[in-house]
Structures are given as C-alpha cells and as structure tokens.
Structure 1
Amino acid sequence: MDATASGPGEPMIRLSGVGKTYDDGTVAVQEVDLDVAAGEMVCLVGPSGCGKSTTLKMINRLIEPTTGRIFLDGQDVTDADPVELRRGIGYVIQQVGLFPHQRIINNVMTVPLLYGESKATARERARELLDTVGLDPDQYADRYPHQLSGGQRQRVGVARALAANPPVLLMDEPFGAVDPVVRTRLQDEFMRLQRDLGKTVVLVTHDIDEAVRMGNRVAIFAAGGRLAQYATPTELLARPADDFVADFVGSTRGLRRLAVTPLREEHLEPLDGVTGGALGSAIDLDSSLEEALAALLRDDKPMIGVKDGARFVGVLTPAGVHRALRESLR
C-alpha cells in the first residue's frame, strides 16, 4: 500500500519499499512505503506479530531491512553507520532500560556525555529535561530507578531520549507497563510535550484507542507485516480500508470518532432566543465532540453553552454534533 502522500515538503522520515524477511523465509514486514512529516506523531498499531515493532526498529536499524531504502530528513541512511544514525534518534521502550545502579541525573546525562559535552553542561541539560517531563530535579535527580514509580521511570526514559535534542523520537509501547490512570496522564503529558517541542514521533502501540487519541496519523498493520491502512484517525474510523481494519478498530468506531473530532464555532447555533431553562452547563470551544456530547447527556438538556475563554460563542445541539461529524470527512 502506498502511504507516501503526506503533507507539503520533504518528509522527515520516508520508508520506500522497506521490508524484512528472515533467513527461514518468514516475512516479518512486507514492502512498506510510509512517510512521516516533520513535527508529526504517527502511531503504528496492529495485532501481535504484525511487524509494527520490526518496522520501528528498521528506522534506526536495530533491525536491518532486507529490501528498500530509509530516508531521514531527505538523506538516505540505509548504508550509513548505524551507531551514528542511532545517536541522532531518540528511542524509548516499554521497559525503559534505565541503568539501575546510576542516579536518575546520571541516566539522563548519558547521551550528552557520549557526544563530548562537559559534565557541567550535561548535568544542566539533564535537570532541564527532568523539569520538562514533569519531574522536579531537586526532588528526583539523586534518586535511583527503583525508588521511582513505573510512570516516573517512563518519564525519565523520555527525558533521556530527548537529551541529545534529536529531531526524531521512536517509541515502542512506551506506556504499556503502567496502570490505565497513569497511562492516560502520561499520554496527556507527552502530547503536551510534543506540542511544545515539535519532535517527529513514531510510536508503536497495540491499543487502537491510544493510537487514535495520540496520532496525527495511524498506520494499521495486518498479519504478515502488511500495511493495511495509513490515515488520519477521523478517516480511519469513518472509512476503514477493508474488513480487517473495520474489525480491528471495532464496532464502536463511531463513538471513537467523537473523541477525535474537535468542536468548532461553525457547528454552533447562536445564543439569540435561548432561555436559561433550555441551556445546560457550558463547555470550552476546544472540547472534543465526545466531551460535548457527554455534557449534553449529563445535563439532560436540549443544548449546551460553548465558551471561548470567558466569552460565550454559541450553543451546541445534537444536530450540531451530527453536522460536525459529517463535515469532518470533507
């Protein structure tokens, strides 16, 4: 499947016909064409053994591709020194991989020191990154990994991956080892971080909800390493490419569309003539349709007020929700 139609300009990552076949004839990944635009977060998702982690590891050549070419910021890196390639790519795994006998600050300093930074500069950078990922360096820098929770260790792993300020960040099931509440919090924190830093991120997950929540685009892999569909979350949920994709995203994909479709001012009705008894509590204009519909159902009102900051901009009705879903596919 050709998935190279991304945004304008040269993609930050391009896989062109990249595949992996092992010596025993097992096809782990069929020839994949995949572009990832600069600053984009792309999620690779699919059932176990479908080749999503293998595809990720071929980008930084922890696994060598059998066929195809890999381009990073327009440069063909297929024949480059893999060690040098990896130094320019952040990598975060589920198990985090922190050095257990080193303090947290030393774990994060590892990569800058490899690049020849002075200890003072590396320490300052590490403290800044701990603060960036929401860990107070005065509180956590001198602790050891076993003294942190799973979610905190995962944050340290992200900080270490960012220490060399890489343009590309690869993440393999980064939030899979923590409980659901912490997982949601980490997802929110990472999406905030992504908005602030603008890194190009490829994230592997087995969770379709995580994929459509976090990804600008989602690549669904099927058994045998086949790229079944590569699309925005809205398009994926509304127009599955085949029966496999439809089954994988599930029968509740219509509800999932509510979570990935933003509310916009053009979906609203004017406030004129609305009486207080008909109006429920107010929501923010940057809410998702899922949040808006939940508020409508909670208040059991025919409409709900919408604010942009302190200013009321209109009211949302069930007809407005339907209009927003319809227009999201145009």
Structure 2
Amino acid sequence: MDATGSAPANVMIRLSGVGKRYDDGTVAVQDLDLEVLEGEMVVLVGPSGCGKSTTLKMINRLIEPSTGTIEIDGRDVTTADPVELRRGIGYVIQQIGLFPHQKIITNVMTVPLLYGESKATARARATELLELVGLDPALHAERYPHQLSGGQRQRVGVARALAADPPVLLMDEPFGAVDPVVRVRLQEEFLRLQRDLGKTVVMVTHDIDEAVRMGHRVAVFAEGGRLAQYGTPAELLAHPADEFVADFVGSEKSLRRLSVVPLRREHLEPMDGVSAGQLGAAIDLDTSLEGALVHLLGSDKSMVGVREGVQFVGVLTPAGVHRALRASLAEQA
C-alpha cells in the first residue's frame, strides 16, 4: 500500500541501462533508465535527433538495443518473438500507415484477423472502434483512406492500433501531420479515450506544449540520447533539472502551467448573492486553469459557475485564476 492506503500501480514498461550505438559509432541513446506505470501516459520530448523515436522503436523491437534490458509487464521483450510482440502492442505513427487499397473497415480488422478472429467478430470490433474514435461507421467504414481527411485517417490509425485490445500503445508524433485546430481536437479525443480505456501509452513529440498537455509524466531528452529530466509536467515547469531543460521548456512556462493545474474549491468565490444572469457557461471542478481561463475570456460575464457533479460549488473570477496559479507556484517552490 502507498501513503494513501491504495495499492501502488504496477510498472508496465521498464527500461534498464538501455543504449543504442550504431556501427559508425553514433550514440542514439545512452544508459537509459525509465519506468512507465500501468495506465500511465508518458511523453518523450526533445529536439530532433535526441533518441526519443529510437527509444520508442526499441520497446517493440523495430530497433534492437545495443545494451540493457526492456521489460513489458515483467517479461524481457528481447527474448520474445518480435512478430508476436508487435501484435500485442498498438503502434501509431505520424504517417498513419493505412493500407491504401483497403477500405477503412478492413484496415481496422487487420490485426483481429491475424489473431484468428472470424470476419464477423473482427468486423463488429472494428465498427465499435470507429465509433469509439468518433467516426460514424455508416459514413466511413466503406471508404478508402484517400477519401478521408488527415484527421480522420489519424483516427483510423488509432482505431487499428486498439483493435487487438493491447495493454500498451506506442505513438510516434501521432498528431504532427494535421493542422493546429484538428491537432487540438485529436489530442482532446485521445485524452478521453485514454481515460476511458486505461491503456499504458508512450508517445513521442517534439512539441513541449503537447507533452505538457498530454503526459502524466514527461521525459525530456537532450542531444546524444541523454535523459535530461523525467517528472510530471508541473515538476518540469517549476524545477527544470538543468539549463537545457529550462531552455527547452521556454520562457512561457508560467502560461504552460495553466494547463496542468486543476481548479480547487479554495480558488472559488461563494455562490451567495450571485444570480444566474451574472454567470457564463458552467465548468467542472476538475477543469484545468487553462480551460477555466478560456471559458472566462470567451464569455461576456465576469465569472463562471463551477460545479462538482450536478451541484454548483462556487464561482470562478479572474482573481481566482491568479490565486490558483500563485498557490501552485508556492507549492512547487
């Protein structure tokens, strides 16, 4: 049991002393120790050429490590059959990799069919997954990849990766090929999926804003394949481990903190004397400060109502956002 009296989460992925050196002497990853807990989303972030994609590909043995061990759910993956290993790990890439000559429904059915599922069972699973990622099977199942938008194709890629119900999902720049508006929508959709399904996810990005928004924990890689810092987004923003991390996080870290700090009751003003006409659209208590500020700025009201479940617990004003941010900074000091 942990300090809260609940059982600690299992380690789903463990990298111990993992390194990758190529024949020409190039070191892509050096002496990497990293643990990912069951149901956790970990984001690997850093500049180009720092080893984050190499690390991801070593987990499913698309690239073989030169040193160290990699375990998934306690099993050393270097002893596993690589084909069987990859069938049990969902993999989503920026280029999506759909089969262009196959219909969308057939693309999603691929892995269940490889596992010996009947066509009827595989089709039912694929239909369910298309709905899960926000695509109407009646509209999209019989189309071909070129008939879908980039964002829609990316959703199909996620559905296909989930088709075998893998415990682990690896994602390499999954939202990098779509425009910024679609990218944010896909991020929100995937965060919802991850909360609902509880998959263990390792994702690669070069975008620190995406890393802070998506990750329970973030691993910042430096050039030469060095792990510069590993921690929660709030820890990285408040206490960069070195000058490289501080520079990579950037001068906007106080604004980024808004996306990782949740509202609390002590940030709110009482409902007493507040009429419905004074309030903008209501938000939930677990909304981030960023989301709360967006609601405030998008409203012509001076405050928004905050609810927990169906019950209103207070109102948030701009002064409350400021208090919440100051409190967060003090806690991390």
Q: TM-score, normalised by structure 2?
A: 0.90
Between the aligned partners of 1:275 and 1:140, the Cα distance in structure 2 is: 47
Between the aligned partners of 1:124 and 1:295, the Cα distance in structure 2 is: 39
The equivalent of 1:38 in structure 2 is 38
Instruction: Check the 8 A contact 1:16/1:34 in 2, yes or no.
Output: yes
Q: Give 1:280 shift.
A: 5.8
Between the aligned partners of 1:305 and 1:136, the Cα distance in structure 2 is: 34
Deviations 1:148-191 (A, max 9, x none): 11111111111111111100000000100000011111111111
One-letter amino acid of the counterpart of residue 234, structure 1: A
| Residue 166 (str. 1) matches residue 169 (str. 2) | no
Q: Give 1:301 shift.
A: 8.1
| Residue 154 (str. 1) matches residue 154 (str. 2) | yes
CA gap of 1:198–1:187, structure 2 versus 1, over 3 A, is same
Deviations 1:79-107 (A, max 9, x none): 22111111110001000111111111111
The equivalent of 1:3 in structure 2 is none
Deviations 1:214-233 (A, max 9, x none): 11011010000000011101
Equivalent residues in 2 for 1:84-103 (5 A)? 84-103=84-103
Q: Give 1:267 shift.
A: 2.7
CA gap of 1:301–1:158, structure 2 versus 1, over 3 A, is closer
The equivalent of 2:332 in structure 1 is 329
- Where structure 1 has 5 or more consecutive residues not aligned to the other structure, the ranges are 1-6
The equivalent of 1:16 in structure 2 is 16
CA gap of 1:117–1:326, structure 2 versus 1, over 3 A, is same
Between the aligned partners of 1:327 and 1:263, the Cα distance in structure 2 is: 15
| Residue 320 (str. 1) matches residue 319 (str. 2) | no
Equivalent residues in 2 for 1:128-207 (5 A)? 128-207=128-207
The equivalent of 2:280 in structure 1 is 281
Q: Give 1:208 shift.
A: 0.6
Deviations 1:233-253 (A, max 9, x none): 111111111110010011000
1:58 is paired with a residue whose SS is: helix
The worse-fitting range, judged by mean Cα deviation, of 20-29 and 72-81 is 72-81
Instruction: Check the 8 A contact 1:283/1:292 in 2, yes or no.
Output: no
Between the aligned partners of 2:76 and 2:182, the Cα distance in structure 1 is: 38
Instruction: Check the 8 A contact 1:305/1:315 in 2, yes or no.
Output: yes
Instruction: Check the 8 A contact 2:101/2:144 in 1, yes or no.
Output: yes
The worse-fitting range, judged by mean Cα deviation, of 297-306 and 243-252 is 297-306
Deviations 1:25-75 (A, max 9, x none): 100001110000011011000000000000000000100000000110011
Between the aligned partners of 1:222 and 1:176, the Cα distance in structure 2 is: 20
Between the aligned partners of 1:135 and 1:297, the Cα distance in structure 2 is: 31
Between the aligned partners of 1:223 and 1:216, the Cα distance in structure 2 is: 23
Equivalent residues in 2 for 1:46-61 (5 A)? 46-61=46-61
Deviations 1:124-169 (A, max 9, x none): 1111111111111111111111101111111111111111110000
Between the aligned partners of 2:134 and 2:298, the Cα distance in structure 1 is: 33
Instruction: Check the 8 A contact 1:263/1:324 in 2, yes or no.
Output: no
The worse-fitting range, judged by mean Cα deviation, of 22-31 and 118-127 is 118-127
CA gap of 1:322–1:194, structure 2 versus 1, over 3 A, is closer
Q: Give 1:307 shift.
A: 3.0
Between the aligned partners of 1:58 and 1:212, the Cα distance in structure 2 is: 24
One-letter amino acid of the counterpart of residue 230, structure 2: Y
1:50 is paired with a residue whose SS is: coil
Q: Give 1:325 shift.
A: 1.7
2:11 is paired with a residue whose SS is: coil
Between the aligned partners of 1:38 and 1:322, the Cα distance in structure 2 is: 30
Instruction: Check the 8 A contact 2:105/2:142 in 1, yes or no.
Output: yes
CA gap of 1:145–1:201, structure 2 versus 1, over 3 A, is same
The equivalent of 1:260 in structure 2 is 260
- Where structure 2 has 5 or more consecutive residues not aligned to the other structure, the ranges are 1-6
RMSD: 2.3
Deviations 1:191-227 (A, max 9, x none): 1111111110000011111111011011010000000
The worse-fitting range, judged by mean Cα deviation, of 225-234 and 297-306 is 297-306
Equivalent residues in 2 for 1:59-138 (5 A)? 59-138=59-138
CA gap of 1:116–1:322, structure 2 versus 1, over 3 A, is closer
The equivalent of 1:25 in structure 2 is 25
